[in-house]
Amino acid sequence: MINLEDYWYRKNVLSFVLLPVSWLFCLVALVRRKFYELRNSIWPRIPAPVIVVGNLTVGGTGKSPMVIWLAHLLKANGYKPGIISRGYGGKAKKWPRMVTGKSDPELVGDEPVMIAHRTGVPLAVGPKRNKAGRMLVKKFGCNVIVSDDGLQHYAMARDIEIAMIDSKRRFGNGFCLPAGPLRESPRRLKEVDFVVVTGRAGNGEFVMGLTGDTVVNLRDPSVTQSLGAFRHQKVNAIAGIGNPQRFFDMLSANGIEVVGHPFPDHHRYTLNDVRFDDEVPLIMTEKDAVKCREFAGSNHWYLPIAAVPDRAFAKQLITRLRRLKRG
């Protein structure tokens, strides 16, 4: 079976064969966006400023760490933020639905549970983000809404757009789906408010680092260890995220001998996925951890990741938000 993602980061025969479909995809995306922009100009919107954190490509770009960082930044500046998300993969029957750090990821999705645990702010999920946002404003008095993903969810009006980019992958081969990883043309970046790059940033872009130096025991979260304690040791590492290699590289950069086991994004884990024949430690991402607690072993750990954006970005974002509020 062909895995298209293996072809998205270089130009090849398959990508050129799919190019006509790619052009059609980009055209439909553009028409759809223009339609919703017109509709949103006359329809009721969420009664609070909306900040969207999204990306142009399929795959991980650091959106979740950015959302977590934003929630803390907004609280530190006197706001009452709320977070909305699609709740990808959630099987709940009724939407929108509130999420806490103890919610079942099977019902509401893995990323919302992780974000709720890390931020402690009101978080609601649902396919219709407008309803989720209105619920947070009405029920909790949230005065700014952060949308986890949703750059292409044009049914929701927004005030500030933050586009995330992975510095190593960038835009892959530069083609839209299915010939490449793009959901929209890169020209879309000219219209967003901020472009934030995990890694090395270019002109007009803000840089964001990712850091994590303490692992948490999955069975007993009160037990922690320095990541440095695993230096020169062999560990199994699992990652069911958009870009598993970035997680494995982070561990390797700390002198750890990594045996990587990548899984599809939002993978639903079973006991066999985390059971290995050896006795070496297992380290996973925080998003994986919320789905693996029920069969955690004593030597299973997860690594919380924190975003470290450019200070100038934080200053400009708060300034832009305050101007919106005055307007």
Phi, psi of 66 (to 5 degrees): -65, -45
CA dist list (Å): 277 to 280, 282, 286, 291: 9, 12, 23, 21
- Provide the pLDDT for residue 325: 65
Q: In what order do the strands lie in the sheet with 234-239?
A: 224-226, 214-217, 300-303, 282-285, 234-239, 257-262
- Provide the pLDDT for residue 153: 92
What is the C-alpha separation between 28 and 23, in angstroms, rounded? Answer: 9
What is the C-alpha separation between 63 and 267, in angstroms, rounded? Answer: 18
- Any residues with CB less than 8 A from the CB of 153 and at least 6 apart, and which? 52, 86, 129, 147
Helix (H) or strand (E) holding 164: strand 160-166
Strand partners, 82: 145
Instruction: List the one residue out of 293, 264, 272, 297 whose CA is nearest residue 282.
Output: 297
The two structure tokens encoding residue 178: 């299915």
Overall pTM > 0.95 = no
- Provide the pLDDT for residue 220: 93
- Provide the pLDDT for residue 3: 61
Helix (H) or strand (E) holding 237: strand 234-239
Task: Confirm if 288 and 310 have CB atoms less than 8 A apart.
Answer: no
- Collect the ranges in the chain with pLDDT lower than 70: 1-5, 325-327
What is the C-alpha separation between 129 and 46, in angstroms, rounded? Answer: 9
- Provide the pLDDT for residue 2: 53
Helix (H) or strand (E) holding 110: helix 110-119
- Provide the pLDDT for residue 327: 43
